[in-house]
């Protein structure tokens, strides 16, 4: 058995890859830029969801020591509707190469048959392939990349349209730990997991946590929906995607993420990482 990790340069895929490497389970990283970015000693291949000519690359890779890819971790491309290309690849993997199991990274707002990767979820059910869907809440790592990282570091401010909405932020390491079990356990899961962090936090509370760890005041600046769209667009984000990301923040303001569970601990045997501990571990990103 070998495992294909799409989104090969992403945070969850890299966490999974390290766990597979430590467990001596063959794997292959795949993305548009992974061959240049893959860590030394990790096999990688060029793969582009939007270019079907690359779909065969993983199955022709020469460095899996004879192991066939039978399990695939699915990470969607950053496009408005990833389902057509993802479903096309799934069909190639199943019909031409006998892939038996898929694990799909998705979000808590996605429903089977619904928007975004909901159609991928539905497709896997329709064709009867073993699958697990990971419905992950907001990543803690959102604060250490892109716009949040810049504004915390340079302005000591966090901007959002989340108002006072509570969110159970989760570490990508915890998402990856659940994914690892779904990918490697002998018995297929054939279920979905809502992956949440250990505590519900508003953005005001997040700012307070940053203030404590960084030793300077960090404040949360509340933006209207339109102001937030404009802020995203000022970073050259396409308008359609800016509206999509903002709509997720607004949904959180309205309570869409206000829930808790113990899925991470049940699946992995350990509790998810606390937000304070995560900030402490990564504080150089904002200094």
CATH number of 140-170+197-258+273-287: 3.90.25.10
Who contacts 240 (Cβ-Cβ below 8 Å, separation ≥6)? 80
Question: 192 near 132, Cβ under 8 Å?
Answer: yes
Buried b / exposed e along 4-18 (16+ C-beta atoms within 10 A):
bbbbbbbbbbbbbbe
User: Is the separation of the CB atoms in 203 and 220 below 8 Å?
Assistant: yes
**What pTM, to 2 d.p., does this model score?**
0.94
Nearest to 89 by CA among 4, 18, 164: 4
First to last CA, the chain: 43
Judge whether residue 169 has pLDDT over 90: yes
Asked, colleague to colleague, whether 2-136 and 140-170+197-258+273-287 share their fold, the answer is no
Give pLDDT tens digits for 29-38: 999 877 667 7
Give per-residue pLDDT as tens, 237-278: 989 889 989 999 999 999 999 999 999 999 999 999 999 999
Confidence of residue 67 (pLDDT cuts 50, 70, 90): confident
Q: Are 51 and 66 in contact (CB under 8 A)?
A: no
The single residue listed with the structure tokens 């061959």 is 35
Give me the percent of the chain exceeding a pLDDT of 90.
Answer: 84
What contacts 24+ positions apart, CB below 8 Å, involve 239-242? 240/80, 241/78, 241/80
Domain ranges of the chain: 2-136, 140-170+197-258+273-287
Q: Could you say which architecture CATH assigns to the domain 2-136?
A: 3-Layer(aba) Sandwich (3.40)
Is the alpha carbon torsion for 102, 27, 77, 150 positive or negative? positive
How do residues 82-121 score in pLDDT, each as one tens digit? 999 999 999 999 999 999 999 999 999 999 999 899 999 9
Question: What sign does the CA torsion over 193, 197, 199, 203 have?
Answer: negative
Question: Which backbone phi and psi does 53 adopt, to 5 degrees?
Answer: -70, -15
Q: Taking 80 as the threshold, does the pLDDT of residue 181 lie above it? A: yes
Q: What is the mean pLDDT of residues 136-141?
A: 96
């Amino acid at each position: 058995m070998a495992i294909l990790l799409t989104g090969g340069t992403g945070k969850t895929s890299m966490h999974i890859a390290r766990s597979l490497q430590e467990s001596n389970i063959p794997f292959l990283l795949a993305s548009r830029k992974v061959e240049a970015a893959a860590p030394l000693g990790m096999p990688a291949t060029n793969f582009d969801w939007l270019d079907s000519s690359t779909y065969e690359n993983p199955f022709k890779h020469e460095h899996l020591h004879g192991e066939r890819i039978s399990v695939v971790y699915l990470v969607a491309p950053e496009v408005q509707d990833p389902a057509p290309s993802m479903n096309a690849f799934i069909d190639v993997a199943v019909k031409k190469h006998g892939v038996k199991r898929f694990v799909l990274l998705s979000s808590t707002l996605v429903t089977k048959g619904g928007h975004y990767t909901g159609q991928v979820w539905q497709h896997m059910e329709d064709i009867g392939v073993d699958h697990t869907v990971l419905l992950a809440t907001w990543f803690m790592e959102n604060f250490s990349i892109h716009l949040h990282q810049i504004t915390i570091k340079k302005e000591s401010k966090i901007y959002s349209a989340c108002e006072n909405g509570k969110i159970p932020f989760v570490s990508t390491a915890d998402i990856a730990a659940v994914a690892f079990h779904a990918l490697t356990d002998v018995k297929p899961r054939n279920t979905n997991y809502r992956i949440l962090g250990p505590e519900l936090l508003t953005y005001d509370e997040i700012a307070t946590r940053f203030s404590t760890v960084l030793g300077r005041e960090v404040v949360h600046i509340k933006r209207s929906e339109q102001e937030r769209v404009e802020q995203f667009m000022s970073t050259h984000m396409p308008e359609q995607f800016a509206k999509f990301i903002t709509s997720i923040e607004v949904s959180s303001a309205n309570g869409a993420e206000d829930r808790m569970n113990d899925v991470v601990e049940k699946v992995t045997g350990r509790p998810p990482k606390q937000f304070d501990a995560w900030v402490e571990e990564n504080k150089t990103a904002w200094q």
